[in-house]
Amino acid sequence: MIALIIRRSYQSVVVMLVVALLAFTMFRYVGDPVSMMVGQDTSLEQREAMRVSLGLKDPVPVQFARFVMNTAQGEFGISYQLGRPVAEILSERVPATLELSLVAALFAMLVGIPMGVYTALHPQKWLSKAFLTISLVGISLPTFLIGILLILFFGVLLNWLPTFGRGEVVMLGGWSTGFLSGSGVKSLLMPAFTLGMFQLTLIMRLVRSEMMEVLLTDYIKFARARGLSNKAVNFGHALKNTLVPVITITGLQIGNIVAFATITESVFQWPGVGLMFIQAIGLVDIPIMSAYLVLVALFFVIINLIVDILYHVVDPRLRVDGSGAHG
């Protein structure tokens, strides 16, 4: 297990370096960093001096090494537009996105998995058919449309929920949380539902098809022939085998939730990194864009690592422990 984590960590480092190279290339070669930072009236000498002080005259590998070192320390440079360190802006924005993604992911899993199990166990019941119909809507309607419809109903017509922003946030150390205030929780509902809806339907359909397949296997038939209770067969034997492939897809989907929070954040004006990224693109704020790129890649790498570890916990066939088949 330790060996696996170390091996996977090496791979993660390589992935992160490649992403850093992309981010660096973007930072260094998309436009001229100096002319982005200075005003129209800066003289050529001043520009040249700035170029030297920023190290832009150094050989490219040296610059890349410096970029990697800085990035690793959470130093992403200074936003062109806001004139503040990107790290500072990120630390304000990351909690909003992570809280939104966490709630959306939990919603998708805690609702999607039971719905999938139910539809697999009772394919003929009308409720299963209703779930499947609803899931078609969830899979085919674009996220922004669901978000706008929700705003229309619950925000504008019924006036139950706030239509934008995070509501009141409470600071816990350096982390701003919306979980502790009524308006924070209320503001979270619609964005989390919107963001989780697509993943929910995906997880539900995946669980359903995997479980229906597992229910046809010999070991399920044999478990029934041993007289095990329905509960033990369906949840002890069938569900556990269903979850092996589901873990992989769900893990990747959680990465997607973080990455694609951009759309939901734009619709609900949610002050997270996704909204920040969209605004940065509009303003060609390269440091923020490259920081976002590195950050999302980091989320994916961490989630993949967790998925790999979970996989080994669930499936004994992947654990190489030296005692193969014998006897």
CB of 157 to other proteins, least distance (A): 47
Which residue from 3, 44, 157, 225 is in contact with other proteins, where contact means CB under 8 A? 225
The reply to whether 320 sits near other proteins by the rule CB under 8 A is: no
Q: What is the distance, to the nearest Å, from the Cα of residue 270 to the centroid of all Cα atoms in its chain?
A: 15
The reply to whether 309 sits near other proteins by the rule CB under 8 A is: no
Which residue from 36, 228, 252, 281 is in contact with other proteins, where contact means CB under 8 A? 228
The reply to whether 124 sits near other proteins by the rule CB under 8 A is: no
Distance CA 282, CA 45 (A): 30
Structure tokens at 12: 């993660």
Interaction with other proteins in 243-302: which residues (CB under 8 A)? 244
Phi-psi bin for 74: left (phi > 0), alpha (psi -120 to 50), beta?
left
Structure tokens at 105: 């992911």
CA-based max dimension of the chain: 87
The reply to whether 231 sits near other proteins by the rule CB under 8 A is: no
CB proximity list for 46: less than 8 A, separation 6 or greater: 38
Nearer to other proteins, 84 or 221 (CB): 221
Nearer to other proteins, 44 or 325 (CB): 325
Which residue from 39, 173, 227, 282 is in contact with other proteins, where contact means CB under 8 A? 227
Q: Which of 251, 274, 267 is nearest to 99 (CA)?
A: 274
CB of 112 to other proteins, least distance (A): 21
The reply to whether 237 sits near other proteins by the rule CB under 8 A is: yes
Phi-psi bin for 43: left (phi > 0), alpha (psi -120 to 50), beta?
beta
Which residue from 62, 217, 283, 302 is in contact with other proteins, where contact means CB under 8 A? 217
